[in-house]
Structure 1
């Protein structure tokens, strides 16, 4: 009997406690009155009958200890009519997870955080904005911080999109992530109006991944029609992919999280300050005012853009979880100034050094780096005397000698060269570019490329002596004529190219050139297309790529100006070498070609120049100005087949 009464009493106590807790939570009405005290926003809550500090804490979703601290209370008792300050906490803690379930069978329950929008919810859950609105009829025009939005769980049906086969009139482009009407139009050099006219459905609905649009066939490059074959053994292929991922994780752990970099640049800060100051005197009192807007000292312009590229790379590395300790020094062009800077760096631990850019200042820092065994990167110069004798020097810009070798390989191994013509100055053996002729003849005659092809002819002609008429006599009207000009002297090259442009109307010509030719601004770009110019270069920026567009946008937002070539180069090398340090630590120079970093303009592949020298970047790309007025860029087959590209 006693046991029976005790059981009944226990059940009553439990039910009473539950009802009491529910009553407590029901009696607390949230206040809309706010006040800012000491920089902190608080609700002003007036305590009413049957309310306790615990029920108020639960209602506002604020920890009890926080309320006690803010109101300087030492006990949990409250009086009717007492005014409490309830902090408006961050969205992460407005509603503790114990009070809000994350999902059930029908909905996800999303707590609105700072920066959330209906579009961000659509991207996260894949549920249309209107569907989210209809599931939350009480939702206002703006999402309130800390409020709960119900997102319906929609069963995703597997849809098979049947893309039509390409025909003689149209190429059917499949929509990928990130594609927009404008982006696709730019990719194929179409006007947006024409794109919409050919694809009227895009006016009525948004582009969906996996859907397709029509593109006129004549605007599509040939490589788009090359179909990738499916693997014969799908299961084996999946197994190989899984194995490669696992091995990569094992071989490339993050060894170092903090990267220490020294950056030496001629920023000319004193000169920039001087030209932006207006000094005048009033009653013998010197008055200094700042010019608005500020202007840049001309000699520092490119190097400041380079510095800004490094800063953007540091931001991206920090987002990847790396900590970067960047030391920046203004070298101007003064070796004595550098000696004083280096004296203060004797006990600074550095992972690598970027710069200086001038030879007289680079030599000073390279000597310091060699004594301290610190890798030092030459970021801009294609010719650095320290590279031959200092094993810690890493040269980013490919030398003329190496470019000559790459042009020779491209002509010998990538092209079906039948009629090869070298158009040279009258006396050119003393030029650096003469190496190109030597390399070509080695490939043709010593390595046997010439003897393998009975239809191939090789000719050399002096433009100074024979001119346009002499070149015309050497051209073939039945095969492609590959023309080499072993020179980077602007007036001379421009003269030959202008004459070749006349012949391009009657003959099939492919001109092979050096990177610097692209900066010869007195030449009309149309001439490059007419001559089917292929430039062998370590750098190329494709402004149609999403990553380039993203970089330019971030650069504009951060620095309120346009990036230049120096900005892209700085971003690439700072990210690449920082990632190398994080993966391989101090031993990273021996593992640079194992890195897989998505670069903006570069194709890095490093090779030691000799047994005692440093590393030179010999990764190149081909930029082709084709006759259909399109610019294509790719890594040549010779780069891969000769083991010069990872």
Structure 2
């Protein structure tokens, strides 16, 4: 049932691509003719994409009350992840024009439907795949990763922050940067933008490991710094201010839920605002703060709020602006917050890199694709027996009430 429905839904969503062919889980969606002048080691790729599309429930949709943003999680779940495919499709359309050859197989697999994942993995064509992209939850991904390991097929995890997914599987590529990458990017930004930083690190015992990461990174730079346990010493957070240096508060406090984190964010901002004798302050904290309705945006602006994030609809990024133009052209709407751009970048990186490098890709995956990607990747691993971790993330800043990218 699911596979027969795929024809209908993909056709509905991708009419804008005109003559581009789309196929169900049994066949390829596109055969592209490579430019023989390109230095392509592997002339064509077979890619399997596993998405929780819920196409078997499409008959339940009531299009007379269509409101995806309000209801998609409850009623229109088949639209939740389709933007990942749409972003990937835009990339493949571009790559086709450059001469790359890809056959993309799309499978409808539930986020946690391990039985369905295992069933799909038994299909004869699966062993012919060059790349697997499961946008699913932990257990489902593990099933696909085990298959990838047994059959020596690279596999991408687009969304998980869990660093353990790369362990003991050299074929895994983890896209979401780890905490280590966030720390490295933040420290690199400070090094590039500030001449004499004085860093005040706010934490609680729960964040001890992250605090120690920052400690090692900061001490390597020989910067002035102090760590303050906010639970114990929240009334002493100004004691280490140095009026002769550039003062940077880095908050890694996580109270465990949104309500408590929102209360903490308000408390910190009010403390900073009530101290009228402070020199200029730069505050680095979590992106989630911008979603807290009670926060005063004037204070966010006043204290030069920064955060790190791997993906954001950043209209100061020209590559993202060009992507949005294509997305609007084909789908007549704005892309979502992350899935569309992520699907685009994964294809724009992996298709050329794998075709250029061939069998050497799995041991030497890095290739500079900065000029054509929204956010580029750089992969690293600690041990040859483990998979690859993307270490690229972006520092954003609130400036004139706008979010701008300021460092990578």
TM-score bucket of the superposed structures, by smaller chain: 0.7 to 0.9
Please say if residues 488 and 517 of structure 1, whose CA atoms lie closer than 8 Å, have aligned partners that are also in contact.
no
Match 1:271 to one of 57, 79, 83: 57
> Distance in 2 between the 1:574 and 1:488 partners?
34
> Distance in 2 between the 1:502 and 1:634 partners?
24
Match 1:624 to one of 393, 397, 400: 397
Q: What's the secondary structure of 2:128's corresponding residue?
A: coil
Q: What's the secondary structure of 2:57's corresponding residue?
A: helix
Does the C-alpha gap of structure 1 residues 325 and 441 become closer, same or farther in structure 2, counting only changes over 3 Å?
A: same
Corresponding position: 1:610 with 2:376: no
Corresponding position: 1:259 with 2:31: no
Aligned to 2:366: 593
Aligned to 1:316: 94
How far 1:515 moved relative to its partner?
Answer: 4.4
Corresponding position: 1:440 with 2:214: yes
How far 1:572 moved relative to its partner?
Answer: 0.7
Q: What's the secondary structure of 1:558's corresponding residue?
A: helix
Aligned to 1:574: 347
Aligned to 2:15: none
Does the C-alpha gap of structure 1 residues 266 and 347 become closer, same or farther in structure 2, counting only changes over 3 Å?
A: closer
Aligned to 2:273: 502
Aligned to 2:245: 479
> Distance in 2 between the 1:337 and 1:525 partners?
46
How far 1:260 moved relative to its partner?
Answer: 1.4
> Distance in 2 between the 1:505 and 1:485 partners?
21
Please say if residues 309 and 570 of structure 1, whose CA atoms lie closer than 8 Å, have aligned partners that are also in contact.
yes
Does the C-alpha gap of structure 1 residues 346 and 386 become closer, same or farther in structure 2, counting only changes over 3 Å?
A: farther
> Distance in 2 between the 1:418 and 1:597 partners?
29
Does the C-alpha gap of structure 1 residues 521 and 593 become closer, same or farther in structure 2, counting only changes over 3 Å?
A: farther
- After superposition, what is the alpha-carbon deviation per residue over 1:431-470, rounded to whole angstroms, capped at 9, x for unaligned? 3xx333212322454x4715xxxxx3x3333333343x42
- After superposition, what is the alpha-carbon deviation per residue over 1:188-218, rounded to whole angstroms, capped at 9, x for unaligned? xxxxxxxxxxxxxxxxxxxxxxxxxxxxxxx
How far 1:608 moved relative to its partner?
Answer: 1.1
Please say if residues 46 and 130 of structure 2, whose CA atoms lie closer than 8 Å, have aligned partners that are also in contact.
yes
How far 1:361 moved relative to its partner?
Answer: 0.3
Match 2:334 to one of 557, 562, 576: 562
Does the C-alpha gap of structure 1 residues 479 and 590 become closer, same or farther in structure 2, counting only changes over 3 Å?
A: same
> Distance in 1 between the 2:333 and 2:64 partners?
18
Aligned to 2:152: 373
How far 1:543 moved relative to its partner?
Answer: 1.1
Q: What's the secondary structure of 1:623's corresponding residue?
A: strand
Give the alignment of 1:6-45 within 5 angstroms.
none
Q: What's the secondary structure of 1:416's corresponding residue?
A: coil
Give the alignment of 1:73-472 within 5 angstroms.
253-276=39-62, 291=64, 293=66, 297-298=72-73, 299-332=77-110, 333-345=112-124, 348-411=127-190, 415-425=194-204, 428=205, 430-431=206-207, 434-445=208-219, 447=220, 449-450=222-223, 456=224, 458-467=225-234, 469-472=235-238
How far 1:350 moved relative to its partner?
Answer: 1.4
Please say if residues 135 and 159 of structure 2, whose CA atoms lie closer than 8 Å, have aligned partners that are also in contact.
no
* Higher RCO by CA contacts (8 Å cutoff, separation 6 or greater): 2
> Distance in 2 between the 1:322 and 1:386 partners?
30
> Distance in 1 between the 2:79 and 2:296 partners?
27
How far 1:292 moved relative to its partner?
Answer: 7.0
How far 1:322 moved relative to its partner?
Answer: 1.9
- After superposition, what is the alpha-carbon deviation per residue over 1:129-165, rounded to whole angstroms, capped at 9, x for unaligned? xxxxxxxxxxxxxxxxxxxxxxxxxxxxxxxxxxxxx
Q: Matched residue pairs, number?
A: 359
Which segment is superposed worse, 513-522 or 326-335? 513-522
Please say if residues 535 and 623 of structure 1, whose CA atoms lie closer than 8 Å, have aligned partners that are also in contact.
yes
Please say if residues 129 and 153 of structure 2, whose CA atoms lie closer than 8 Å, have aligned partners that are also in contact.
yes
> Distance in 2 between the 1:635 and 1:407 partners?
8
Does the C-alpha gap of structure 1 residues 352 and 472 become closer, same or farther in structure 2, counting only changes over 3 Å?
A: same
Please say if residues 423 and 484 of structure 1, whose CA atoms lie closer than 8 Å, have aligned partners that are also in contact.
yes
- After superposition, what is the alpha-carbon deviation per residue over 1:472-510, rounded to whole angstroms, capped at 9, x for unaligned? 344344432211212344433423443245157642111
> Distance in 2 between the 1:528 and 1:606 partners?
33
> Distance in 2 between the 1:271 and 1:523 partners?
40
> Distance in 1 between the 2:119 and 2:273 partners?
58
> Distance in 2 between the 1:487 and 1:414 partners?
24
Does the C-alpha gap of structure 1 residues 472 and 571 become closer, same or farther in structure 2, counting only changes over 3 Å?
A: same
Does the C-alpha gap of structure 1 residues 602 and 444 become closer, same or farther in structure 2, counting only changes over 3 Å?
A: closer
How far 1:621 moved relative to its partner?
Answer: 2.5
Please say if residues 366 and 379 of structure 2, whose CA atoms lie closer than 8 Å, have aligned partners that are also in contact.
yes
5+ residue gaps, structure 1, are: 1-251, 277-289, 451-455, 637-646
Match 1:535 to one of 282, 287, 307: 307
How far 1:629 moved relative to its partner?
Answer: 4.8
Give TM-score, length-normalised by structure 1.
0.51
Q: What's the secondary structure of 1:591's corresponding residue?
A: coil
Give TM-score, length-normalised by structure 2.
0.78
Does the C-alpha gap of structure 1 residues 326 and 411 become closer, same or farther in structure 2, counting only changes over 3 Å?
A: same
Please say if residues 190 and 197 of structure 2, whose CA atoms lie closer than 8 Å, have aligned partners that are also in contact.
no
> Rg larger in 1 or in 2?
1
